[in-house]
């Protein structure tokens, strides 16, 4: 019996059942070590690196970038050093107990031990010695035979290869799956593109330049510069302008798969709308006092917390007074329901990212000061936008705070982040006429909007909470002294 090991895609947390394979970090023939990252996958929660529980030689990669893989299905086959390679059919029949066989004390969001992220991600197998037939002069560029992606039909090889263009004095320019797909869709011959990346690597910007170059011209390499592109590619669309929509009679310009974060958001919002009898209350608030308090702290030489951190502090205080809004409803198999209360507040902060809307949560937010909340909100927003927030950070909230004022709008009847029971929205702060002590004045005004589950409380409770937060914003000094 062969010793080839089959690593199955693990549950990456929160009971997720599938993940999209974004990129392989190893190739067939590579020598890998235990806990070495082997692939990047995107779940409905975040982008994560999957480490290997085995050391040895990569025998087979089960999947192509862009594919959606089910949890529990083969991800990679590894032949331990000195073992006899086995056929894919034999390898697929083997399973393993992850932590015991990996010898790993941690779980990545599953797997991996500290120190598993080395500076070198892969150790390549020795390349075949060059023969006289492959020798060329230093002034010529050579395109060798493409390496076919393992597990594909040879007939599909031209569409599924990792092209390596050798340029005199430079290393091979490996084209990423995303760049290759863009080039294929727009009819760009990668062999005619000059790469602007390190060692001649062909970047996305190079293909874009080739797409927009006048006919008959070869795009020159774009000067390399620090990339400002998001760490995660936006949803990919396929041009299908030749299709016609039967309902409207219009040409279909693109089709965008609903997957990853967008799929998770859609499912959560649809469930929220179908299950929760929601109601909404709102109030205009004079935020002049809060802005003056923050300006005073800044004038004193201190770096004050952001406005959202102050509001978060008021929210946690309000939830202590009105705990009905910091609950969850659970339905038993017999149809009976319970309202589950919590000893603590995990405050979710809605954050717009390139991957979609995500809601990382500040754990035990009721124990933090405004300054501590500010630091944690900034940290969570940053990791969420990088796609590095963990499932625990993204799925443990008990109440959500949504600052949609940053988009320049005043109000919104937000959808509750199921299975929570309430969400508070904050609109933009703008100058408005306001009556102060019987006289008209120009004040800094914002709108607070609370959407709540009518099953857990009535309008009086919701209004009481909203008024508590509004009063805190209008008179922050007194309330901050108390809380």
Radius of gyration, CA atoms only, the chain:
28
> Which candidate, 50, 149, 48, 34, places its Cα nearest to that of 102?
34
Q: What is the DSSP letter of 69?
A: E
CATH number of 261-482: 3.30.559.10
196: its two tokens: 């602007």
Positions marked catalytic:
454
**Which residues are bridge partners to 6 per DSSP?**
77
CA distance 159 to 21: 18
> Which candidate, 74, 70, 67, 71, places its Cα nearest to that of 92?
74
**CATH fold of 132-212, please?**
Dihydrolipoamide Transferase (4.10.320)
> Which candidate, 375, 376, 336, places its Cα nearest to that of 360?
376
Q: How far apart are the first and last CA of the chain?
A: 67
Cα dihedral 434, 435, 441, 443 sign: negative
Position 68 scores a pLDDT of 85
Q: What is the DSSP string of 298-330?
A: HHTT--PPPHHHHHHHHHHHHHHH-GGGSEEEE
Q: What is the DSSP letter of 166?
A: B
Q: Which residues contact 33 (CB under 8 A, 6 or more apart)?
A: 52, 55, 123
CA distance 353 to 364: 24
Cα dihedral 34, 39, 43, 46 sign: positive
479: its two tokens: 């309330």
Q: Report the length, in residues, of the chain.
A: 483
Say what the pTM is. 0.56
Position 223 scores a pLDDT of 47
**CATH fold of 5-102, please?**
OB fold (Dihydrolipoamide Acetyltransferase, E2P) (2.40.50)
Position 84 scores a pLDDT of 58
CB 357 within 8 A of CB 351: yes
CA distance 425 to 403: 6
The residue ranges of every structural domain in the chain are 5-102, 132-212, 261-482
Can you give the pLDDT of all 483 residues of the chain as single tens digits? 457 899 998 876 655 678 888 889 999 999 999 889 999 887 765 677 888 989 999 999 999 888 888 888 999 999 987 665 555 444 444 443 443 343 433 333 333 333 334 333 444 444 444 443 343 333 333 334 444 444 444 444 443 333 443 343 333 354 465 677 777 777 888 777 887 776 577 877 788 788 877 655 544 444 444 444 444 445 555 554 468 988 899 999 988 888 777 787 788 889 898 899 999 999 999 999 999 999 998 888 888 999 999 999 999 999 999 999 999 999 999 999 999 999 999 999 999 888 778 899 999 999 999 999 999 999 999 998 888 888 888 889 999 999 999 999 998 888 999 999 999 999 999 999 999 999 999 999 999 999 999 999 999 999 999 999 999 999 998 776 554
> Which candidate, 131, 200, 126, places its Cα nearest to that of 165?
200
Position 227 scores a pLDDT of 41
């Amino acid at each position: 019996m062969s010793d080839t090991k089959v690593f199955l895609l693990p549950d990456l947390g929160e009971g997720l059942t599938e993940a999209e394979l974004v990129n392989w970090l190893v190739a067939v023939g590579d020598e890998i070590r235990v806990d070495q990252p082997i692939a990047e996958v995107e779940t409905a929660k975040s982008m994560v690196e999957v480490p290997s529980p085995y050391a040895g030689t990569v025998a087979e990669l089960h999947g192509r970038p862009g594919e959606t893989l089910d949890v529990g299905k083969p991800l990679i086959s590894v032949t331990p050093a000195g073992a006899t390679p086995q056929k894919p059919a034999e390898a697929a029949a083997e399973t393993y107990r992850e932590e015991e066989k990996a010898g790993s004390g941690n779980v990545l969001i599953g797997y991996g031990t500290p120190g598993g992220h080395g500076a070198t991600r892969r150790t390549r197998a020795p390349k075949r010695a060059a023969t006289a037939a492959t020798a060329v002069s230093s002034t010529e560029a050579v395109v060798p035979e493409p390496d076919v992606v393992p597990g594909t039909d040879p007939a599909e090889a031209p569409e599924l290869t990792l092209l390596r263009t050798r340029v005199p004095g430079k290393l091979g320019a490996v084209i990423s799956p995303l760049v290759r797909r863009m080039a294929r869709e727009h009819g760009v011959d990668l062999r005619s593109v000059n790469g602007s990346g390190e060692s001649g690597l062909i970047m996305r910007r190079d293909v874009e330049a080739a797409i927009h170059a006048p006919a008959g011209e070869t795009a020159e390499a774009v000067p390399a510069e620090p990339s400002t592109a998001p760490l995660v590619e936006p949803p990919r669309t396929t041009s299908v302008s030749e299709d016609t929509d039967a309902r409207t009679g219009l040409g279909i310009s693109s089709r965008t798969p609903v997957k990853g974060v967008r799929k998770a958001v859609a499912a959560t919002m649809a469930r929220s709308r179908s299950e929760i009898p929601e109601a909404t209350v709102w109030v205009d608030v004079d935020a002049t006092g809060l802005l003056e308090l923050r300006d005073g702290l800044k004038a004193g030489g201190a770096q004050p917390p952001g406005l959202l951190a102050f509001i978060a502090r008021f929210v946690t205080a309000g939830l202590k007074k009105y705990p009905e809004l910091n609950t969850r409803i659970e339905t038993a198999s017999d149809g009976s329901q319970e309202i589950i209360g919590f000893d603590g507040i995990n405050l979710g902060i809605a954050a717009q990212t390139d991957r979609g809307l995500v809601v990382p949560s500040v754990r035990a937010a009721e124990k933090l000061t405004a300054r501590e909340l500010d630091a944690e909100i900034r940290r969570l927003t940053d990791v969420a936008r990088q796609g590095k927030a963990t499932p625990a950070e993204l799925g443990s909230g008990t109440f959500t705070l949504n600052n949609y004022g940053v988009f320049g709008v005043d109000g919104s009847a937000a959808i509750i982040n199921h299975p929570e029971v309430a969400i508070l929205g904050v609109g933009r702060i703008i100058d408005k006429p306001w009556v102060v002590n019987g006289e008209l004045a120009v004040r800094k005004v914002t709108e607070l909007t609370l959407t709540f589950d009518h099953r857990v409380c009535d309008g009086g409770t919701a209004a009481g909470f909203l008024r508590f937060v509004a009063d805190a914003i209008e008179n922050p000094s007194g309330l901050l002294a108390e809380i």
